[in-house]
Amino acid sequence: MPNKIRILPDDIANRIAAGEVVERPASIAKELIENSVDAGSDRIVVEVAAGGKESLRVSDNGCGMSHDDALLALERHATSKIQSLDDLKELLTHGFRGEALPSIAAVSRLTLETRLADAVEGTRVSVVGGRVQDVSAIGRGQGTAVTLHGLFFNVPARRKFLKSVDTEFRHIVNAVTAMAMAYPEIGFDLKHNGRQVLQLGRSRFDRRAEQIFGVRYGTDAIGVESKASGIEVRGFVGKPESARKSGAQQVLIVNNRWVQHKAIGFAVYEGYGGLLPKGLAPSYCLCLSIDPARVDVNVHPSKREVRFADERTIYGLITQAVQQSLRGADLIPEMGDAVMPVADTPVSIAESPETTYQLGQPKVGGQPQMALPLTMRMSSGKTKRGTGVNTDDLDEEDFARVSVWQLHSKYILAHIKNGLIAIDQQVAHQRILYERAIDNMHTRPATSQRLLFPLTLDFSVKEILIVREAMPLLEKMGFGIRDFGGHTVVVDAIPMGLRTWQDGQLLRDMVRDMAEAEQATSVSPSLQARQIAPEEHRLASVYAWHTSIRTGEDLSTEEMRALIDQLFATREPFVSPYGRPTLVKIGLDEIDNRFKR
């Protein structure tokens, strides 16, 4: 009887190993950058084409490798980092398993070029699908460069699961910026499709944080520094008002290794002591230095997670460090002081339709509003599911004149044929502005008004990528915006009639919300039918959110008339861009029942 168990061939084993280490282009960039760091480099250059799906190259000026070491580096479990089991307890390097290079080479067309400082010539090794095709001598400078093309060319099932070019490149940006925060003493360059995206010289930690995150210590970031029980914590946390729905701006570095650890995130949150609004997360970048014997980095194939020997101690230390830093900035009251209520915070665009939005206290005072006539234009009679409103109730013969009131500076009430409708003024205005922005993008570009003085705006590394992608759409919406190089843009015009600008804060808020929005690859059937792309929907939605009428604003009769008129001229007047109802109907029968008529 033949044996059922057999040893896998090397090519199959390598592809399986690649599945654990190589998830996407960003994981390759991370592994190669770590190799460059371990090689003692002080300058690392990452060059990407098509989000890494076409090609990716990482080059450095580190120690380089000899001819024989270059060949050995492509063999599985070949490493210079450990020689005995005891070395695993004292790991200070990034690589140690010897799996990254052979795993990457197994699913791509890879070229390795390297030279030692004192060598006469360098070595080039070409590998296709894990098999060495050519080895030759070359002339080059000291250091190593690894170039790969056609990631997953021989594993089409894996390649089809890669996301869009923009999404994959954002993951690469995350990996590069995290490593740059871990090593501010190393210079980093990042290029995409030949364009310089990131250029960081050797610097201090605080300066590097300003360059990458766009934060300034003392203004919107608070320095954290603490040392106890043999553990050192340094970095920064964002002020409570900068907390967002998404934790995208959260970086944790343990012994110069970029990792993920949920418990540490909870410890940071705990350190805010109730200053954060519910559901929002703080921005932070924290670096922990700890005895390698007290942390296990060998718990994940790609070394993204770590396990601490005394997690409770570390949890308490981080919580205390954050508390002390916030208290030093007069943000956390001392024991016995009254805790002031947290200011209302704009809700993230990711809120679900069931969430209650609160953007300020309604103004109940003021002069009472009288019932005044209003003419309403309506579309054909159809019932919108979920609203209970039939447009036949609204489209009265000869466009009947009805009365309107504003309730608590929040809702607009109007009588209809069979009862009453209540319109949420903020949500209704969001629908109007959303439709207007989509119309600008597709058919009629908006009219602009020139700024007296052009405004220069600086963004973080991630944000400037979003601005550049959205620039053609922003111009159609009426923004005069041009790239000024680096992380800077110049705005010299804004949409005509824009309600709020605040010296560019509107654009900053829009970009920040777009950065937090889920990068969906598909849209709803209704948006597909209207040929609205995901990026158009996101931009129009955040624009409508930030520029709409707010709860608490008093409206004149003419303004209420115009709002209702414009709402029912939109394609979808009964729902906001985020899925919330714009109005509800209260039937006359229901009112009669309340009065037991």
State pLDDT tens for residues 88-130: 555 556 654 457 888 899 999 999 999 999 999 999 999 999 8
At residue 547, the pLDDT reads: 95
At residue 260, the pLDDT reads: 82
* Band of pLDDT at residue 229, cut at 50, 70 and 90: confident
Amino acid 431 reads R
Helix residue ranges per DSSP H, 73-164: 100-106, 156-159
At residue 343, the pLDDT reads: 36
Using the structure block, give the residue that is written with the tokens 């030093």. 328
Confirm or reject CATH 1.10.3720.10 for domain 212-328, answering yes or no. no
Query: Percentage of the chain with pLDDT > 90?
Result: 46
Question: Would the pLDDT of 194 be above 60?
Answer: yes
Greater confidence (313 vs 94) lies with: 313
Dist CA 78 CA 98 (whole Å): 5
Buried-state track 148-187, b at ≥16 Cβ within 10 A, e below 16: bebbbebbeebeeebeebeebbbbbbbbbbbbbbbbbebb
Dist CA 377 CA 265 (whole Å): 52
Helix/strand/coil (H/E/C) assignment for every residue in 372-411: EEEECCCCCCCEECCCCEEHHHHCCCCCCEEEEEEECCCE
Greater confidence (163 vs 338) lies with: 163
| Residue 540 and residue 353 in contact, taking contact as beta carbons nearer than 8 Å | no
Dist CA 317 CA 323 (whole Å): 10
Question: Would the pLDDT of 453 be above 50?
Answer: yes
Question: Would the pLDDT of 479 be above 70?
Answer: yes
Amino acid 113 reads E
Domain residue limits, the chain: 10-203, 212-328, 372-428+553-594, 447-495+500-547
Q: Which residues contact 588 (CB under 8 A, 6 or more apart)?
A: 418, 419, 420
Question: Would the pLDDT of 51 be above 70?
Answer: yes
Q: From residue 470, how far is each of 226, 491, 535, 578 by CA, in Å?
A: 41, 14, 8, 20
Q: What are the tokens at 200?
A: 């960081």
At residue 91, the pLDDT reads: 54
Q: Which residues contact 88 (CB under 8 A, 6 or more apart)?
A: 82, 96, 298
Dist CA 437 CA 540 (whole Å): 6
At residue 28, the pLDDT reads: 94
| Residue 189 and residue 199 in contact, taking contact as beta carbons nearer than 8 Å | yes
Dist CA 294 CA 313 (whole Å): 11
At residue 474, the pLDDT reads: 96
The separation between CA 164 and the C-alpha centre of its own chain, rounded to angstroms, equals: 15
Q: What is the mean pLDDT of the chain?
A: 81
Reported as a single tens digit per residue, the pLDDT across 9-48 is 766 666 655 555 688 999 999 999 999 999 999 999 999 9
CATH of domain 447-495+500-547: 3.30.1370.100
Dist CA 197 CA 176 (whole Å): 11
The secondary structure of 523-577 as a DSSP string is --HHHHHTT--HHHHHHHHHHHHHHSPPTT----HHHHHHHHHHHTTSS-TTB-T
Q: What are the tokens at 302?
A: 């790609």
Question: Would the pLDDT of 277 be above 50?
Answer: yes
Residue 293, classified by CB atoms within 10 Å of its CB into exposed (0-12), middle (13-18) or buried (19+), is: exposed
Dist CA 535 CA 542 (whole Å): 11
Coil/strand/helix, residue 264: helix
At residue 272, the pLDDT reads: 87
Strand order, beta sheet including 257-259: 221-228, 231-238, 284-289, 250-254, 257-259
Reported as a single tens digit per residue, the pLDDT across 403-428 is 889 999 999 998 888 888 999 999 99
Dist CA 503 CA 456 (whole Å): 10
* Band of pLDDT at residue 382, cut at 50, 70 and 90: very low
* Band of pLDDT at residue 259, cut at 50, 70 and 90: confident
Fold of 10-203: Heat Shock Protein 90 (3.30.565)
Dist CA 510 CA 501 (whole Å): 11
Q: What are the tokens at 122?
A: 């360098």
| Residue 184 and residue 205 in contact, taking contact as beta carbons nearer than 8 Å | yes
Confirm or reject CATH 3.30.1540.20 for domain 372-428+553-594, answering yes or no. yes
Question: Would the pLDDT of 352 be above 50?
Answer: no
Dist CA 563 CA 553 (whole Å): 13
Taking residues 221-245, what's their average pLDDT?
A: 89
At residue 399, the pLDDT reads: 36
Dist CA 346 CA 245 (whole Å): 10
At residue 299, the pLDDT reads: 57
Dist CA 558 CA 329 (whole Å): 47
Coil/strand/helix, residue 100: helix
453 backbone dihedrals φ, ψ, rounded to 5°: -125, 120
Dist CA 488 CA 199 (whole Å): 13
